[in-house]
A and B are shown apart, each in its own frame.
Chain A
Amino acid sequence: MKNRIESKSEVDVSLKDLCKRFGDFTAVSDLTLEVHKGEFLTFLGPSGSGKTTTLRMIGGFETPTAGEVYIQGELANDKPPNKRATRTVFQDLALFPHMAVGGNIEYGLSFQGLNKKERKTKALKALELVDLEGLYERKVATLSGGQKQRVALARALVTEPPILLLDEPLGALDEKLRERMQGELKNLHKRLGITFIAVTHNQEEALTMSDRIAIIDRGRLEQVATARELYESPKSEFVADFIGVANIIRGKIIEDNAGVKKLLSDGLEFFIPSKEGFNIGDNAILVVRPERIEIGDKARKSNNSFSVRVRNIFYKGAYLEYYTVLESSQEIRIRVESKSSSQDTSADYKTTIGWNESDSVVLTREPK
């Protein structure tokens, strides 16, 4: 990494109109994105969305069909992985089975002109970094899943890469361990201050670890934003639906007698947050998060207030989940914090629900 050109911009990885096709199948199309130095960015999307292919193009394991990959300001399209400023932690970890833990970690160092002693010193330090002191001599096959995970991390980090790529880094771990490692990865990122780019299909993982999340669907970048922005102001129906739970009401934009724009859906009219760019007659959707909806008498004060039938109430520990139905047969889910034990969960009654327009988001409806 000695000859690296100091890039003045704060951009570490830049993707420009990136495309990847496998035969007739388009895995990634026109993806443009900048990853800032020191940032933790996660590609999130359903399986087959092209997120891993994108990461592999950054790492140098796939060649783009079109578009460019810039790493630290240099065009990297045709550079092999060993000539890039990136290191990858692979989904299946890819630890070398014929080498001990120490051998695995030192492998990358053997290309940096260090002697045996220096390599070992660095490897021991890396093991310390991932809390695996004393496992230097161990055979890879004798490690637990969590330990293997850490060895893979140490192996990538020991070479001090400016950019670390993580492909489903916690995919092989069980639930409990995964949660703990999410925190550890985040701390590691903070401590090292280098750029992390991860791929995951696990929403919670992405929300917990990342500074920004890039949502990918069917090879297209839907939105890049912080977890909060994605949740509170999704830019598309896919994002709204994919992140968390959303009530999605489909309809058309109308104007009432007072000249206020509203959404008409199956005979019901909804106040919408004022937004530019919507004309009368446009197809649109209204997104309301379940915890933003009031239920019962309090709901009458909201300007979007409707009577519903409560069909089911589920006790979910931290909250109660109501499945209600509007007069238009539209289902609305509501989450209410379960504070007291007195809350009744017997369903099938009529009540009122409501929310203020500022607690909802209106979006262009996508053709299905």
Chain B
Amino acid sequence: MGRVTVPKRVSLWAFTILALMFIFLPSAYLLLISFEPSELEKVPRNFSDFSLRWYIQLFHQERLPGAIRQSVMVGLLTAGITSFLSLLSGMSYRRLRKKSYFLGLLIFPMFVPGIIAALSLSVFFRLISIRSSMYTVVLGHVLYALPYASIVTLVSFSGLKEGLIEAARDLGASGFRAFKDIIFPLTRGGIFGAALFGFLLSLNEFIRAYFLSGWQETLSIYMFGQMKGGADPSIYALAGLILSVSIFLVLVALIYYSFIRYFSRSFA
């Protein structure tokens, strides 16, 4: 390898910082303006100006608790169903010979534009006389999250050596015991990852929820409504709240993974 010269290193760092700023600055800006006490869309001038005014304001919004509850319910159901289905996809992936076809079919929904997926689902549900409800949203979100979740699960399954399962069977394990003792413990990270993906994707999804919801709106629909009806800065507080929850969940997951890594280096 050639030596990395100083100008090269400087420009590499500059580029990295630029890229990171591009990724994080808009969210950080949103978080900052949510603490501005006045109704102006700006960053508080002094540290002492930081205020939770708009966060407190959130408690007075009548429709918000219902929307949050709905989003959490939809998110949890989506997470559960998605991780279970992606577990099944991982199990079948192990045995399939034409793996690439399977993978293609599995991740194809990823490339269907959201608006089309939402519209077609809503038309389809009407065709078979299923009324819009929380469950139709969940179905839409499972369809949406499954490709992402499956990729996470398949990665952990691809690290699972078939020989381990054969060894368990050879030592006397039934198919179920081999799953419980060997497959699940070794792919747990991927399955939890799939659940996390399912929850976060569902929580932040708008278009499918918009088309498939019944009378009870989800959080993202609620926010959209707030923005349309003349923005009250509390919308920034809500955005800040959702952002914090998302970051918190991802951090928990990261800590969990490094914890697993630390205790079983043998995965490498």
Residue numbers of A with Cβ under 8 A of B are 59-61, 80-82, 86-88, 90-92, 94-98, 107-108, 110-112, 139-141, 155-156, 159
Contacts and interface: CB of A to CB of B under 8 A. Distances in A.
A92 B162 CA distance: 11
A88 B186 CA distance: 22
8 contacts: A60-B170, A82-B169, A90-B163, A94-B161, A95-B167, A97-B164, A97-B266, A141-B266
Given A97-B266, A112-B172, A88 B167 contact: yes
Contacts of B169: 60, 80-82
B119 interface: no
B171 A155 contact: yes
Contact of B173 (A82, A88, A141, A155): A82
Contacts of B177: 111
Contacts of A97: 164, 186, 264, 266-267
B166 interface: yes
B265 A159 contact: no
Contacts of A141: 264-266
B253 interface: no
Contact of A111 (B172, B185, B186): B172
Interface string B22-40: 0000000000000000000
B167 A96 contact: yes
A111 B264 CA distance: 25
Interface string B230-268: 000000000000000000000000000000000011110
A293 to B, nearest CB: 46
Contacts of A112: 172
Indicate the size class of the contact surface on chain B. 20 to 34
Nearest to A106: B171
A71 B206 CA distance: 61
A94 B267 CA distance: 13
Contacts of B173: 82, 107, 111
A141 B177 CA distance: 23
Most buried by B among A94, A156, A159: A94
B49 interface: no
A82 B167 contact: no
Given A140-B266, A141-B265, A94 B172 contact: no
Contacts of B139: none
Contacts of A139: 264, 266
B181 interface: yes
A92 B172 contact: no
Nearest to A110: B172
Given A97-B264, A141-B265, A88 B170 contact: yes
A304 B266 CA distance: 62
Contacts of A94: 161, 163-164, 166-167
B264 A59 contact: no
Contacts of A155: 171
A61 B264 contact: no
B171 A61 contact: no
B57 interface: no
B198 to A, nearest CB: 25
B186 A82 contact: no
B225 to A, nearest CB: 48
Nearest to B165: A94
Contacts of B168: 96, 107
Interface in B154-213: 161, 163-164, 166-174, 177, 181-182, 185-186
A41 B213 CA distance: 68
B171 A98 contact: no
A81 B163 CA distance: 13
B262 to A, nearest CB: 12
A91 B162 CA distance: 12
Nearest to B167: A94
B161 A92 contact: yes
B170 A59 contact: yes
Contacts of A107: 168, 171, 173, 181
A98 B172 contact: no
A112 B171 CA distance: 10
B157 to A, nearest CB: 15
A82 B172 contact: yes
B163 A108 contact: no
Contacts of B161: 92, 94
Contacts of A108: 171-172
